[in-house]
C-alpha cells in the first residue's frame, strides 16, 4: 500500500481511499499506462521495462484491458493466470505480481475498493497450486532463462539484501559463504575473494574470482562500511540472516530457493557454453574426481573460472561487452 501511495505521488496524484464515481473509473489498460509512466523512469534496465509492458499488455492481459479497474474480480484474474500457471509458472508468477501492483495503484487512486484479487497470500494460494519443486529432494531452482529479468528487478532494489543476493548469483557461492564474507577475505585490488577452509562445506580454501559486476557491488559497500562483514545484518557486529534473502525473494513473488541459483548457473554452463565440466564444478566449489586424481591436480583453474563467471555476468546483463573481456583475459592467461 505504501509503495502504491509513492507511485501515485510520483505522477503528481494525491493518494486517496475514496472510491471514484463509476463513470470516471479508468480501464485496466489506462491504469497500466499511468502505473508504467510512474515507474519506468526508475527502471534503468530497458529489458526490465519492456518485459513489464509486454506482460501487462495484450499478450497476457487481453481479458482485462477494456475492463474498468473497479470491476476486476478474482475470476477475471484467474482467467488471465490459469492458461499459463502450469505451463509457464515463472512467467505466470511474475504476471500475478504485476497485476497486483497495478490494482494496488488503482486502489490508492480511489478507483477500486476491497481486497486485491491478484494477491497471493490468503487469496490465490487457496486456489492455485504453488509452483512445483524442481525434483523431489532438491532445492527449487529458477530456470536460468528467467534470471536476467530477476537480476534486473534486483538491481532496482536498493536494499543491502538485494546486493547480497545479486552477489551470490554472480559468484555461484552458497548463501552462508556470501553472508559470512568479511572484508578481510576480500582483496579489492586483486579482485579476489578467498574463503577460508573452515567456512567451506568441503573444508578446503576456495578462491573466488570477482568479475567487474561483482566488484561494482562491493566497492560502494566498502566505501560506506560500518562493519567487518561485507553484507552486515541489522544487529551490530552480526552478519545478515539467511532468512533475509529468502524473504526478499518471497516479496518479489519467487518460490525458488537462494541455493537453487547455483543450479541455474550450473545448468547454464552445461547447456549454453563449452566450458569443461570440471571448471563449472570448480566455480561451485564441488569436489571433482577421485582421491588419486585430486592428488595430482593441485591447481584450482582460477583463470578459467574467472572466464566462466565473466561470461555468466554478461549473460545476466544481456551485454555483449562482457564476452569481449572474457576472451581477452582468457587469451592473456
Instruction: Dump pLDDT digits (tens) for 10-47.
Output: 656 666 554 455 668 999 999 999 999 888 777 766 76
Q: Are residues 121 and 183 in the same domain?
A: no
Instruction: Dump pLDDT digits (tens) for 115-145.
Output: 999 999 899 989 998 865 433 444 567 888 8
Q: Are residues 94 and 169 in the same domain?
A: no
Residue 133 pLDDT: 43
pLDDT band at 322 (very low <50, low <70, confident <90, very high): very low
Residue 169 counted as domain residue: yes
The average pLDDT across 71-78 equals 96
Residue 135 counted as domain residue: no
Residue 133 counted as domain residue: no
Q: Are residues 34 and 98 in the same domain?
A: yes
Instruction: Dump pLDDT digits (tens) for 240-296.
Output: 887 899 889 888 878 788 888 999 999 999 999 999 998 999 999 887 654 544 443
Residue 220 counted as domain residue: yes
Is 323's pLDDT higher than 90? no
Residue 253 pLDDT: 79
Instruction: Dump pLDDT digits (tens) for 179-227.
Output: 999 999 999 999 999 999 999 988 889 999 999 999 999 999 999 998 9
Instruction: Dump pLDDT digits (tens) for 157-182.
Output: 889 999 999 999 999 999 999 999 99
Q: Are residues 35 and 166 in the same domain?
A: no
Task: List the CATH number of the domain containing 59.
Answer: 1.10.150.130
Q: Are residues 176 and 32 in the same domain?
A: no
* 3-state SS class at 27: strand
**Dist CA 182 CA 229 (whole Å):** 4
Q: Are residues 30 and 99 in the same domain?
A: yes
Q: What are phi and psi of 161, to 5 degrees?
A: -60, -35
Residue 139 counted as domain residue: no
Q: Are residues 222 and 273 in the same domain?
A: yes
pLDDT band at 1 (very low <50, low <70, confident <90, very high): low
Specify the higher pLDDT residue, 178 or 301.
178
Residue 136 counted as domain residue: no
Percentage above 90 pLDDT, the chain: 53
Q: Total domain count for the chain?
A: 2
Domain boundary pick from 84, 99, 126: 126
Q: Are residues 175 and 122 in the same domain?
A: no
Per DSSP, what are the bridge partners of residue 239?
232
CB 102 within 8 A of CB 32: yes
Domain interval for residue 34: 2-126
Residue 33 pLDDT: 94
Domain boundary pick from 126, 155, 186: 126
User: What's 156-222 look like in SS3?
Assistant: CCCCHHHHHHHHHHHHCCCHHHHHCCEHHHEECCCCEEEECHHHCCCCCCEEEECCHHHHHHHHHHH
Domain boundary pick from 80, 95, 126: 126
Amino acid at each position: 500500500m505504501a509503495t502504491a501511495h509513492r507511485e501515485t505521488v510520483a505522477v503528481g496524484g494525491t493518494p486517496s481511499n475514496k472510491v471514484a464515481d463509476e463513470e470516471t473509473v479508468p480501464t485496466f489498460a489506462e491504469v497500466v499506462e499511468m502505473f508504467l509512466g510512474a515507474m519506468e523512469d526508475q527502471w534503468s534496465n530497458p529489458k526490465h521495462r519492456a518485459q513489464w509492458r509486454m506482460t501487462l499488455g495484450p499478450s497476457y492481459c487481453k481479458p482485462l484491458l477494456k475492463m474498468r479497474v473497479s470491476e476486476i474480480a478474482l475470476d477475471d484474474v484467474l482467467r488471465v493466470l490459469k492458461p499459463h500457471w502450469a505451463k509457464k509458472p515463472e512467467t505466470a508468477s511474475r504476471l500475478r505480481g504485476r497485476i497486483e501492483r497495478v490494482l494496488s495503484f488503482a486502489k490508492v487512486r480511489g478507483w477500486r475498493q476491497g481486497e486485491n484479487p491478484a494477491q497471493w497470500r490468503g487469496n490465490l494460494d487457496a486456489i492455485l497450486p504453488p509452483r512445483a519443486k524442481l525434483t523431489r529432494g532438491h532445492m527449487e531452482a529458477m530456470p536460468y532463462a528467467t534470471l536476467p529479468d530477476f537480476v534486473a528487478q534486483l538491481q532496482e532494489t536498493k536494499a543491502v539484501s538485494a546486493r547480497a543476493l545479486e552477489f551470490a548469483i554472480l559468484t555461484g557461492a552458497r548463501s552462508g559463504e556470501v553472508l559470512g564474507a568479511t572484508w578481510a577475505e576480500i582483496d579489492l585490488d586483486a579482485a579476489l575473494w578467498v574463503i577460508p577452509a573452515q567456512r567451506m562445506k568441503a573444508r578446503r580454501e576456495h578462491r573466488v574470482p570477482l568479475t567487474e559486476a561483482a566488484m561494482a557491488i562491493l566497492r560502494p559497500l566498502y566505501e560506506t562500511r560500518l562493519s567487518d562483514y561485507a553484507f552486515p545484518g541489522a544487529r551490530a557486529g552480526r552478519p545478515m540472516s539467511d532468512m533475509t534473502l529468502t524473504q526478499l525473494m518471497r516479496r518479489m513473488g519467487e518460490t525458488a530457493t537462494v541455493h537453487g541459483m547455483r543450479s541455474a548457473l550450473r545448468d547454464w554452463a552445461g547447456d549454453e557454453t563449452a566450458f569443461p565440466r570440471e571448471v563449472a564444478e570448480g566455480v561451485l566449489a564441488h569436489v571433482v574426481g577421485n582421491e588419486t586424481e585430486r592428488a595430482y591436480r593441485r591447481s584450482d583453474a582460477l583463470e578459467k573460472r574467472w572466464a566462466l563467471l565473466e561470461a555468466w555476468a554478461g549473460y545476466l546483463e544481456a551485454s555483449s561487452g562482457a564476452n569481449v573481456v572474457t576472451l581477452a583475459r582468457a587469451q592473456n592467461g
